[in-house]
Amino acid sequence: MQQLMTGKILLVTGGSQGLGLAVAEAAACEGAAGVAVVGRSAQKAEAAAAAIRERGAGHVVETLPIVADLAEPGEAERAVAETIERFGRIDGLVNAAGATSRGTLLDTTRELLDEHLAVNLVAPFMTMQAAVADMRRRGEPGTIVNIISMAMHGGQPYLAPYTASKAGLAGLTRNAAFAHRFDRIRINGLNIGWTATPGEAATQRTFHDAGDDWLVRAEAAQPMGKLGRPDEIADAVVFLLSDRSGVVTGSVIDWDQNVPGAYDQ
């Protein structure tokens, strides 16, 4: 890929760490003019902004760290508004922030369900609404990529609220893509599989009593001998954000090494 994001203004929720940060850095490498990242920690958001600036391939990348808790009403819309106020527009949006706490159908509390829906579904709905409104107001095309999950196909029993929220996001992605195709606003999603991130390491230790060798053990059991990597996914996201992905819209792509509905026997 070469300068696929030249001159573009991008907002990445969850962009202060993990996959979101990898996407923001990849966009900077591909020529983005401005990148806003949303995170709950001011320290992480500032550090991410500095890292993104350093990734500009021979050009200056303006960055905007935004501290927001997307579970709170109004925060998602504020993130888009601050991006537009700083850069004058928004060309691309990536919804990468996500809640991943565990819960089964029987033990999930209303509070836990509300948290997943707020972060994984309501916040993307509101950022998309605000971003699309700006794109339509200017009469310019735009692109949105939602980070969904292979769990939207059904998921593990302990991912009930997560699965519900991500399945909703998949449906929203298709609905919005269809609604705004004549606005030349392309909206796609990636169902990512098991990915090696610092956040996943913390999740494995917190919820699954994993030891320091969890990654080695997990990768040994995978068809490709490894888990997905944030930089690999980031390349796919940047491709979907860019003009190189052509007319593709409304696609929810399985980005994984396992195939839903396929069986060994």
Q: What is the largest CA-CA distance in the chain?
A: 56
Token pair of 135 as six digits: 């794109």
Q: Where do the structural domains in the chain lie, given as residue ranges?
A: 9-193+228-253
Any idea which residue has 């202060």 for tokens?
A: 16
Any idea which residue has 């060309």 for tokens?
A: 91
Q: What residues are labeled active site?
A: 162
Contact between 10 and 36 (Cβ < 8 Å): yes
What's the CA gap between 110 and 174, in Å, rounded? 27
**pLDDT recorded at residue 209:** 75
The type of residue at 146 is N
The type of residue at 155 is G
**pLDDT recorded at residue 136:** 98
Residues contacting residue 214 through CB under 8 Å, at least 6 positions apart: 201, 204, 205, 208
Contact between 6 and 221 (Cβ < 8 Å): no
For 9-193+228-253, the fitting CATH number among 3.50.50.60, 3.40.50.1820, 3.30.1380.10, 3.40.50.720 is 3.40.50.720
Tens digits of per-residue pLDDT, 122-155?
999 999 999 999 999 999 999 999 999 999 999 9
**pLDDT recorded at residue 215:** 83
The type of residue at 110 is R
Mean pLDDT, consecutive 10-residue stretches, the chain (265 aa), reads 88 96 96 96 95 82 96 97 98 96 96 98 98 98 98 96 98 98 98 83 78 83 89 96 97 95 86
What's the CA gap between 41 and 43, in Å, rounded? 5
What's the CA gap between 98 and 123, in Å, rounded? 10
Q: Where are the beta strands (DSSP E) in 24-134?
A: 34-39, 62-67, 92-95
